[in-house]
Structure 1
Amino acid sequence: MRPSKPGLLVGLGVIAAVLTWSGLQIWVSAGHAEPDLVWTTVLTIGLLAVAVFGLGWPVKQWVEGDKGRRIDALRAARTAALAKAASVAGSLLVGGFAGWVVHYVPTLDIAARRSEAVVGAADVVVSALLLVAGLVVERWCRVPPDEDDDQNRMQVS
């Protein structure tokens, strides 16, 4: 599995922001009210970021040489896949909630809109934490090349 590419993650975030913003514009122009943003989303995404870090920590310890506790290879691979999913999901969520906040910017003088924008901004922050958690745990799951492999390559050359 290859590490997440920053350009792809930025592109996904921008696409999500544009789609969210334009979708909200169409929804409102059709006479509908915007769905409410709720604080439980902030809590849920924050807990996901903590879970990704928590699941990646034992793999990091093992990769760095703490071989006292055995780590199953399948668990490490699943952790790497979870980290990749977290980075992609975090990117999409950052973009989506950023599009939502941009939708509220013209009406920030209205108290209800301002409170929705605050919740949206908090969602952007915790989504960015999920993105960072995914990228960091992806990095933790990288296994350095064996020294034996390097020596064998040097001898063959």
Structure 2
Amino acid sequence: MRPTRPGLLLAVGFLAAVLSWSGLRAWTSTGGTEPQLLWRSALTIALLAVAVFGLGWPVRQWVRGDRARRIDALRAARTAVLAKAASVAGALLVGVSAGFAVHYLPTLEIAARREQFLVALADLVVSALLLAAGLVVERYCRVPPEDDSQDGGVSAAT
């Protein structure tokens, strides 16, 4: 599995921001009501970030040489896939939250809109934490290349 490219994450985040902002603007301009952002969403995303990090920690310990507990190879692979998914989902959620925050920015003098802006900012921050947790855990899952030869890379078979 290849490491997640920053360009992909930037593209996903930017596209999500543009689409959420323009979609929300188009929806409200035709008389639709804005979806209510809840503080629970920030808590849920934060718990996901902690879970991703928590699942990656034992893999990190094993890769660094602490072999006291056995790590199943399938579990390590699943953790790497989860980390990649978390980074992409984090980028997507950062973009959506940024789109909502930009939508609410011009009307911050209204208390209800200001609260929705603050929820969008909280979602943005914890989504960035999810993105970061995914990238960090993906790095934890990298296994350094093995150097079987003792003589500077020359194989014993030659």
Please state which band the TM-score falls in when normalised by the shorter chain.
Answer: over 0.9
Identity level (%): 68
TM-score (norm: length of structure 2): 0.95
Per-residue CA deviation, residues 31-56 of structure 1 (Å, 9 max, x unaligned), is 01100000110010000000000000
Give the letter for the 1:52 counterpart. Answer: V
Corresponding pairs, count: 156
**Which structure has the highest helix share of the two?**
1
Write the distance in 2 (CA, Å) between the matches of 1:22 and 1:145. 46
Cα distance in 2, alignment partners of residues 151 and 24 from structure 1: 62
Q: 1:152 to 1:9 in 2, by over 3 A?
A: farther
- 1:95-123 per-residue CA deviation (whole Å, 9 max, x = no partner) reads 01000000001111111100000000000
Matches of 1:151 and 1:2, distance apart in 2 = 28
Task: State the one-letter code of the partner of 1:155.
Answer: V
- Separation (CA, whole Å) in 1 of partners of 2:84 and 2:2: 9
Q: For residue 103 of structure 1, what is the aligned residue in structure 2?
A: 103
Gap regions ≥5 residues in structure 1: none
Displacement of 1:154: 2.2
CA distance in 2, matches of 1:66, 1:24: 50
Q: Which runs of 4+ in 1 moved over 3 A?
A: 150-153
In structure 2, the partner of 1:122 is 122
Whichever residue aligns with residue 17 of structure 1, its letter is: A
Residue 38 of structure 2 corresponds to: 38
Instruction: State the shift of 1:7 in Å.
Output: 1.1
**Runs of 5+ unmatched residues, structure 2:** none
